[in-house]
Structure 1
Amino acid sequence: MPEAGLIKTILAKEAPTYGAGLSEGDAFERFTAKTILKRFGLNFDQIEDGIVDGQDDGGIDSVYLFVNRALIATDTDMGLFKEPVVIDLYVIQSKLEPGFKEAAMTKLATALPSLMTLKAKPLDLAKVYNDKVCEKFETYRKAVEDLAGEFPKINVHVIYVTLAKHGNDKVTALRPTLEATVAKVHPNLECKVELWDAARLYAEARKQSRNIKQLRFEKTAVSHGKGYVFLAKIKDYYDFISDEGEIIDTFFEFNVRDYNKTASVNKEIGKTLATEGDPADFWWLNNGVTMLAEDANAQDNVMTIRNPLIVNGLQTSHEVFNFFSKGGKDDNRAVLVRVLQLEDTELRDRVIKATNSQTAIKAASLHATEPFQRKIEDFLEQLNIFYDRRRDYWRNKGRAADRIIGLERLAQSVAAILLERPHDARGRPTTILRVEQTYDEMFSSDTDLNIYKVCAELYFRVDGYFRSERKAISTIHRNNLRYHLMMSLAWRLNGSRPIHAAALAKLKVGTLTDANMKEELAHLIKLFDQAGASDKTAKDAAFTATLIKKAKVKTSILGKEPAKAKT
Structure 2
Amino acid sequence: MDRIIESFVEDFESDFNYKEKDRNKLFEHFSNYLIVSKLYPDKSSIDKINVGGAKNPGIDGLAVMTNNHLITSIEEVDYFIQENDLLEVDFNFVQSKTTSSFELSGISNFITSVREFFKDGNLCFEDELLNLRDLKNYIYKNSIKMEKSPTIKLYYITTGKWIGDQNLLTTVKTGINDLMSTDLFCDVKFIPIDADKIKSLYREIKNKITREISFEKHTILPMIDKVSESYLGILPAGELIKITTDEDGEIIKTIFYDNVRDFQGFNKVNSGIRETINNTQSKDKFVLLNNGITIVAKSLNKVGSSFKISDFQIVNGCQTSHVLHHLKDLVDSNVKLPLKLIVTDDDDTINDIIKATNSQTEVKNEAFEILKPFHKRLEEFYDSFSKDEAKRLFYERRSKQYSGAKARQEKVISLSTQISSYVAMFLNEPQSTHRYFGELLKAYNNRLFLENHSLYPYYTSGLALSVIEEFYRDGNLSSSTKKFKFHLLLMLRIHVAGEKTPINVASNSKLENYCLKICDILWNRETALKNFKLLESKLKSTLDNTDLLKRQAHSMRAFTEELIPTVTENRKFGKVTYYNSTRGFGFIRIDGTDDDVFIHYTEVMKAFDGLTPYAKSFSFDVYESDRGPQAKNMELI
TM-score (norm 2): 0.76
Q: Report the residue type matching 1:28 in the other structure.
A: F
Q: Deviations over 1:71-92 (max 9, x none)?
A: 3342322414566x65321111
Select the residue among 408, 419, 422 that pairs with 2:416. 408
Whether 2:137 is the aligned partner of 1:129: answer no
**Cα distance, 1:360–1:34 mapped onto 2, change above 3 Å:** farther
**Which structure has the higher relative contact order (CA within 8 Å, separation 6+)?**
1
Does the alignment pair 1:213 with 2:248? Answer: no
Q: Closer, same or farther in 2 for the Cα pair 1:467/1:550, shift >3 Å?
A: farther
1:160: which partner in 2? Answer: 156
SS in 2 for 1:20: coil
Q: Which whole-Å deviations, capped at 9, do the CAs of 1:8-44 have from their partners, x for residues lacking one?
A: 1222233212233234444423432343455435222
Distance verdict in 2 for CA 1:514–1:314, change over 3 Å? closer
| Counterpart Cα distance in 1 of 2:467 and 2:305 | 53
2:262 match: 257
Q: Report the more deviating stretch, 399-408 or 17-26.
A: 17-26
- Corresponding residue number in structure 1 for 2:179: 182
1:545 aligns with 2:566: no
Which residue pairs with 1:224 in the alignment?
A: 222
- In structure 2, what is the Cα distance between the partners aligned to 1:172 and 1:279? 39
- Paired with 2:536 and 2:406, the residues of 1 have a C-alpha distance of 32
Provide Cα deviations, 1:317-349, integer angstroms capped at 9, x if missing partner.
3343344x23332x2453211122232212212
Count of residue pairs brought into register by the alignment: 533
User: How far did residue 280 of structure 1 move?
Assistant: 6.7
CA offset digits 1:132-172 (Å, max 9, x no partner): 22222322332222234425323222222222356787766
Partners of 1:387 and 1:191 in 2: CA distance: 38
Question: Aligned residue for 1:421?
Answer: 429
Asked if 1:516 is matched to 2:531, the reply is: yes
- Give the whole-Å Cα distance in 1 for the aligned partners of 2:267 and 2:62: 29
Contact 2:162 2:192 in 1 (8 A): no
- With over 3 angstroms needed to count, the CA separation of the structure-2 counterparts of 1:256 and 1:72, relative to structure 1, is farther
TM-score (structure 1 length as normaliser): 0.84
Which SS does the other structure have where 2:44 is aligned? Answer: helix
Q: Name the CA distance, whole Å, in 1 between partners of 2:43 and 2:234.
A: 36
The Cα offsets for residues 359-410 of structure 1, whole Å up to 9 and x where unpaired, read as 4556544211111011111110221210123233213443122321111111
Q: CA distance change for structure 1 residues 360 and 547 in 2, over 3 Å: closer, same or farther?
A: farther
Q: Deviations over 1:210-252 (max 9, x none)?
A: 6112221224432322222122223323323333433323222
CA displacement at 1:441 relative to structure 2: 0.8
1:59-98 alignment runs, 5 A limit: 59-74=58-73, 75-76=75-76, 77-79=79-81, 80=83, 86-98=88-100
Give me the whole-angstrom Cα distance separating, in 1, the residues matched to 2:536 and 2:283.
70
- Name whichever of 523-532 and 164-173 sits farther off: 164-173
Which consecutive residues of structure 1, in runs of 5 or more, have no partner in the other structure?
552-567
Q: For residues 194 and 229 of structure 1, do their structure 2 counterparts lie closer, same or farther at Cα, with a shift above 3 Å needed?
A: closer
Q: Which of these residues, 378, 381, 390, is aligned with residue 380 of structure 2?
A: 378
Q: Cα gap change, 1:159/1:240 in structure 2, threshold over 3 Å: closer, same or farther? A: closer
Amino acid at match of 1:259: Q
The aligned runs of 1:241-280 (5 Å cut-off) are 241-244=244-247, 245-253=249-257, 254-255=259-260, 257-263=262-268, 265-276=269-280
Question: Any idea what SS the aligned residue of 1:260 has?
Answer: coil
Structure 1 distance, partners of 2:283, 2:64, is 43
Identity of aligned residues (%): 20
Aligned match of 1:462 = 468
Q: Could you tell me which amino acid in structure 1 is paired with residue 52 of structure 2?
A: D
Counterpart residue identity of residue 6, structure 1: I
Measure the CA separation in 2 of the matches of 1:235 and 1:169.
Answer: 35
Aligned match for 1:284, one of 282, 288, 307: 288
How far the C-alpha of 1:288 sits from its partner, in A, is: 1.4
- Gaps spanning 5+ residues in structure 2: where? 386-391, 505-510, 568-637
The change in CA–CA distance for 1:216 and 1:41 in structure 2 (over 3 A counts) is: farther
In the alignment, what sits opposite 2:437?
430
Distance 1:66 1:18 in 2: 23
TM-superposition CA deviations, 1:477-501 (whole Å, max 9, x none): 222x10001111111111x213335
Match of 1:4 in 2: 2
Cα pair 1:231 1:336 within 8 Å, conserved: yes
Residue of structure 1 aligned with 2:329, choices 326, 329, 351: 326
Q: CA RMSD in A?
A: 3.0
1:387 maps to 2:395:
yes
Residues 365 and 390 in structure 1, CA contact (< 8 A), matched pair in contact too: no
Q: What is the one-letter code of the residue matched to 1:20?
A: Y
